[in-house]
């Protein structure tokens, strides 16, 4: 009976480790995607600001 509980606990520990690993990988990719989106938005805003300054100099 003891061996059966040890096997169940070992399987639960392995599954918990896998869930934590997959969760951390998903979280890492989600944060990288979010950072890329924020950078893209910042670059668009900066590009519009630079275009506005160029137009102001021309006129």
DSSP sequence for 16-59: HHHHHHHHHHHHHHHHHHHHHHHHHHHHHHHHHHHHHHHHHHH-
**In the predicted model, what is the mean pLDDT of the chain?**
90
Q: Give pLDDT, residue 55.
A: 81
Q: Which pTM was predicted?
A: 0.62
- Rounded CA-CA distance 38/52 in Å is 21
Q: Give pLDDT, residue 2.
A: 64
The predicted-structure confidence for 32-47, as pLDDT tens digits, reads as follows 999 999 999 999 999 9
DSSP state for residue 1 in the 8-state scheme: -
């Amino acid at each position: 009976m003891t061996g059966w509980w040890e096997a169940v606990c070992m399987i639960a520990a392995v599954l918990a480790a896998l869930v934590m690993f997959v969760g951390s990988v998903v979280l890492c990719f989600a944060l990288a995607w979010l950072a890329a989106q924020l950078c893209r938005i910042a670059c668009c805003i900066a590009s519009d600001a630079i275009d506005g300054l160029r137009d102001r100099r021309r006129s």
